[in-house]
A and B are shown apart, each in its own frame.
Chain A
Amino acid sequence: MMADRVILACTVIAAAVYLYATTLIPSLEIGDPLGPKAFPRLLGIGLLIAAGLLGLEMWKDRHEREPSAPAQARDLRFVWVLAAVTLWTGLYYALLQKLGYIVDSSLYLFALMSWFNRGKWIANAATAVLYSAFSYILFVKLDVNLPRGVEAVSWISDALIAVTNAVLGALKGLFGMIG
């Protein structure tokens, strides 16, 4: 019920902010009788109606259901874990251009795996590095440009692609000879 109350409050606030932001849209109503504000206004009102319906559902629940057992103490440990994972992911994104995809992803994955798959250091490190390297090669070959990073690390990406091209070239040559 507490969660529902928070949702109700957030919904009303979101509707109010959205409706206020709608008034700030400059409108030039040429050839369009409604302009850019009309549909958003309907949505704002719709959200308020939805909040009203939620209030009604909460009221009905309170009257129709038996009083429930007191809520169990919630395990809040995961809230901290989630906050840390979110921050760590944010840091991963922030350093992506500088460290390059391969180094940044290897570090990001290794740290996460070390937390969630504890004690298996070698498997975690190998998976983190191999995944980063192979996915880099795969996506670069699919024309998806992933960041190479600053000069100090970009050689890793360049070397990896050079080795891949050499191996592919050798394989092509080999199959050409067989063919």
Chain B
Amino acid sequence: METLTHIMNGFAVCLQPINLWYTFLGVFLGTIIGVLPGIGPSAGIALLIPVTYGMNPTSALIMMAGIYYGTKYGGSTTAILINTPGEAASVMTAIDGYQMAKKGRAGAALAISAVGSFIAGTLGVIGLTIFAIPLTSMALKFGPAEYFMLMFFAMTAVSTLAGRSPAKAMISTILGLMIATIGIDLQSGQPRYTMGIPELQDGVGFVIAVVGLFAIAEVFSTMEEITKGTRPEIIRLKGKLWFTREEWRRSIGPIWRGSIIGFIIGVLPGAGGTIASIMTYIWEKRLSKHPEEFGHGAIEGVAGPESANNSDTAGAMVPLLTLGIPGGGATAVMLGAFIMYGIQPGPLLFQNRPDLVWGLVDSMYVGNIMLLILNLPLIGLFVRLLYIPGGILMPLIMAISTIGIYAINGNPVELYIGLLFGVLGFIFRKVDIPVAPMVLSLVLGGMMEQSFRQAMTISGAHPKIFVGSTICVVLLALSILSVALPFLMPRLKAWREGSGGDAK
């Protein structure tokens, strides 16, 4: 009953004119960021953090969440019209969406994306509302050892699922943790790895690292495409922006299934929207009576993955809000934003600041309605963004990144650190090292070390504390499983295929 009151109060918070304005601003900017191929939700949120310093934290977080789920709506537009995902999770939408656009059905593909995204986004937020409370009651039982193991699990899951090579993702994760140890150690007061640079005493600011790793690195990649002349052509939007009755009948099942798969994958750490979209696509292709149409413009191949990557964002908010542990790059940046406002997400936040938590969750219902309105009648406006030449857009993103970093402390040295991260991020892309694990460990590194040291202090420096409770053991088992899975899966597949062959 108390929860219901909090949920209703949340609506009172998010329906205040100022918060409605910030929800609108968030989803509007999110759609723009999603449409623009050079920039994703992580960089978008990070760039805006310094601008929101003076704002009320509830409004600022409502706006940032709006950017996060808004990018998923915008990402599909680019995927459908130029065959390039505007945002990584739209990668599967590009396959059939672009084929539909080539056949003159771009309007139907865009409309089903928007409607599917709306249904999935809303179902996802309902899931978030339902699951948040039971998870917070469980999280209240967590001590430092459990928190350490939870962060350990999040990192192992991200490491094994983030890229093609688990070893490279592990290198990225540990390098992030190492960077997080730079600065004055909070417990002993000793400076660590500062190399005598005063700016490093407070550690490497995560906004600087994120802007470098995501925004600047992406600009370099796009500049490379421009130099090599590999920028794709845009398909013009023609005809009615709606789908036929038959197309709707074919899409409704994929939308429901995509919403459920997306939400579940969103809650789990590591996987994220891209994997949710891929899984839904494969699932729909298997279920379809016409699998041969997939890859040639099947509307199910647009509706399913687009729904999955939208409900995934609501799912990803579950561990972030209830446990204070993000499961991927964008939610890691969101956690960074929470911490900058002096707010620690987790079970206690639900008790101490129900207005903030439920105001934020409820704003997502409102934001999804706004996005549906923005993405149907106004889609033509957003499509115009695709016509801005990359040669103009990329330098502008560099200049925006400069303000984003400079606005934090007004310190030019931090600009060079950001540039260094940009070059590092670009090199990582070139050699297939994923950057999301590094961002996650950069944000969680400090907390992880604190939990580790607190747990060891409690246990008198005996590591048995990390297997001292059922929760710890389960999390350890999950961590081992997530590391072992990529090595076991090919063997299991080979064994199954082998035994199948024998049977024949």
Q: Point out residues on A near B: beta carbons under 8 Å.
A: 3-4, 6-7, 11, 14, 18, 21, 25-36, 38-40, 43, 46-47, 49-51, 53-54, 56-57, 75, 77-78, 81-82, 85-86, 89-90, 92-94, 96-97, 105, 108-109, 112-113, 115-118, 120, 123-124, 127-128, 131-132, 135, 139, 142-146
Closest to B462 in A: A33
Closest to A52 in B: B167
B293 close to chain A: CB less than 8 A: no
Contacts A25-B192, A135-B403 given; indicate if A82 touches B187 (C-beta within 8 A).
no
Tell me whether B168 is interfacial, beta carbon within 8 Å: yes
The residues of B that contact A43 with a CB separation of less than 8 Å are 174, 177-178, 181
Chain B at the A interface: mostly helix, strand, loop or mixed?
helix
Known: A7-B431, A92-B402. A77 touches B227 (CB 8 A): yes
Is B351 located at the chain interface by the 8 A CB criterion? Answer: no
Chain B residues near A11 (CB-CB < 8 A): 171
Question: Which stretch of B114-122, B278-286, B406-414 is in the interface?
Answer: B406-414
Please choose the segment from B203-211, B334-342, B391-399 that sits at the chain A interface, where 4 or more of its residues have CB less than 8 A away.
B391-399
What 12 additional pairs, Cβ within 8 angstroms, besides A7-B433, A14-B178, A89-B419?
Answer: A7-B171, A21-B193, A27-B190, A29-B188, A33-B456, A43-B174, A43-B177, A57-B166, A75-B228, A108-B395, A112-B394, A112-B395
Contacts of A18 on B, CB cut-off 8 Å?
178, 193
Judging by beta carbons under 8 Å apart, are A57 and B457 in contact? no
Residues of A within 8 A of B419 (CB): 86, 89-90, 93
Q: Are A50 and B171 in contact (CB under 8 A)?
A: yes
In this complex, how many residues of chain B approach chain A with their Cβ under 8 Å: the count is 60
The distance in angstroms between the C-alpha atoms of A33 and B463, with both chains bound, is 12
Q: Is the CB of A135 within 8 A of B165?
A: no
- Interface pair A54/B190, CB less than 8 Å apart: no
12 A/B residue pairs, CB under 8 Å, sorted by A:
A4-B431, A27-B190, A46-B170, A47-B171, A54-B171, A82-B220, A82-B423, A113-B392, A116-B394, A139-B51, A139-B403, A144-B51
Residue B133 is within 8 A (CB to CB) of chain A in the complex: no
Whole-angstrom CA separation of A34 from B148 in the bound complex: 15
Closest to A111 in B: B395
Chain B residues near A51 (CB-CB < 8 A): 167, 171
Instruction: Tell me, in angstroms, the Cα distance from A143 to B190 when the chains sit together.
Output: 34
Whether the Cβ atoms of B185 and A78 lie closer than 8 Å is no
Q: B399, A135: Cβ atoms under 8 Å?
A: yes
Bound-state CA distance A46–B220 (Å) is: 31
Closest residue to B390 on the A side, CB-wise? A116
Question: Which 9 A/B pairs are nearest by Cβ-Cβ distance?
Answer: A117-B391, A116-B391, A112-B395, A53-B167, A54-B167, A33-B461, A36-B185, A50-B170, A144-B407
Query: Is the C-beta of B415 less than 8 angstroms from some C-beta in chain A?
Result: yes
A157 to chain B, nearest CB (A): 14
Contacts of B433 in A (CB 8 A): 7
**Contact residues in A for B402 (Cβ distance below 8 Å):** 92-93, 96, 105
Residues of chain A with a CB closer than 8 A to B178's CB? 14, 18, 40, 43, 47
Within 8 A of A (CB), among B39-68: 50-51, 53-54
Query: Which chain B residues lie closer than 8 Å to A120 at the CB level?
Result: 389
Residue of A nearest to B453 (CB): A34
Tell me which residues across on chain A come within 8 A of B389, comparing CB atoms. 117, 120
Q: At the interface, yes or no: B416 with Cβ under 8 Å from chain A? A: yes
By beta carbon, the residue of chain A nearest B415 is A93
Contact B223 A82 (CB under 8 A): yes
**Once bound together, how far apart are the Cα atoms of A124 and B395, in whole Å?**
11
Give the chain A neighbours of B399 by CB distance below 8 A: 105, 108-109, 131-132, 135
Residues of B within 8 A of A39 (CB): 181, 449, 452-453
Per the 8 Å Cβ criterion, residues 376-407 of B in contact with A are 389-392, 394-396, 398-400, 402-403, 406-407
Q: Point out the residues of chain B lying under 8 angstroms from A35, CB to CB.
A: 188
Q: Which of A27, A28, A47 contacts B174 (CB 8 A)?
A: A47
Interface pair B167/A36, CB less than 8 Å apart: no
Q: Does B224 contact A (CB under 8 A)?
A: yes
Q: Please give me the residue from chain B that is nearest to A128 by CB atom.
A: B395
Chain A nearest CB from B340 CB (Å) reads 15
Least distance between B466 CB and chain A CB atoms (Å)? 12
Contact A32 B174 (CB under 8 A): no
Query: How distant is the Cα of A105 from the Cα of B166 in the complex, in angstroms?
Result: 41
Q: Tell me the bound Cα distance from A138 to B413 in angstroms.
A: 24
Chain B min CB distance to A89 (Å) = 6
Given contacts A11-B171, A43-B174, A57-B165, contact A33 B398 (CB under 8 A): no
Task: Decide: A85 and B223 in contact? CB cutoff 8 A.
Answer: yes
Docked-complex contact B51 and A28, CB < 8 angstroms: no
CB of B460 within 8 Å of the partner chain? yes
B224 x A78 contact (CB < 8 A): yes
- Pick the contact of B224: A36, A82, A94, A124 (CB < 8 A): A82
Contact: B175 with A25, CB < 8 Å?
no
The answer to whether A144 touches B190 (Cβ under 8 A) is: no
